[in-house]
């Protein structure tokens, strides 16, 4: 792939991630409000703030690449995040924790891939920042999976060969 193609692939991932971070942050705002445990509430609030921070960084990256978010993606992912925000208080404790862990797994891969495209496109600083963001997402993933690892529903899901 040439530098132009790497840049285009990077922009596509950044646009997806930018909108995805909004959906995640909105969902987490409902998630932390739904948990009873104060420590869990504080941890999820922190994760929500980190998602908003990632969104800011992604927006700046898009500007540096002479691009912008896609309005249709913003609409769709705002809707998704808002629906999840609404569902968190009524879906019980396990489901939001499990879904958050799955979401974070996808985010890690997304940022790692974006980092590779940034590096191949000659955007070293972006590549480093995206790799750091992947590490933060890994911390989020570990938090959520640590919370649910002893839950019977998670043990059942693992027995099916899924995480």
How would DSSP label each residue in 85-100?
A: HHHGGGSTTHHHHHHH
CATH topology of domain 3-159: Ferritin (1.20.1260)
Q: Per-residue confidence of the chain (163 residues) as pLDDT tens digits?
A: 666 798 999 999 999 999 999 999 999 999 999 999 999 999 999 999 999 999 999 999 999 999 999 999 999 999 999 999 999 999 988 989 999 999 999 999 999 999 999 999 999 999 999 999 999 999 999 999 999 988 888 888 877 876 5
* Backbone CA torsion sign across 4, 114, 45, 29: positive
CB of 112 closer than 8 Å to CB of 129: no
Domain boundaries, the chain: 3-159
pTM for the model stands at 0.90
């Amino acid at each position: 792939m040439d530098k132009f193609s790497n840049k285009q692939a990077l922009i596509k991932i950044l646009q997806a991630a930018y909108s995805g971070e909004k959906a995640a942050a909105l969902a987490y705002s409902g998630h932390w409000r739904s948990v009873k445990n104060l420590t869990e509430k504080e941890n999820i609030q922190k994760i929500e703030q980190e998602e908003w921070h990632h969104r800011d960084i992604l927006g700046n990256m898009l500007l540096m690449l002479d691009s912008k978010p896609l309005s249709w993606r913003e609409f769709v992912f705002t809707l998704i995040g808002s629906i999840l925000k609404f569902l968190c208080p009524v879906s019980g404790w396990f489901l939001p924790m499990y879904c958050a862990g799955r979401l974070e797994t996808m985010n890690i891969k997304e940022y790692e891939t974006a980092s590779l495209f940034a590096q191949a496109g000659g955007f070293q600083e972006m590549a480093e920042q995206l790799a750091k963001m992947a590490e933060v997402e890994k911390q989020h993933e570990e938090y959520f999976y640590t919370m649910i690892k002893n839950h019977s529903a998670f043990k059942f899901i693992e027995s099916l060969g899924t995480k």
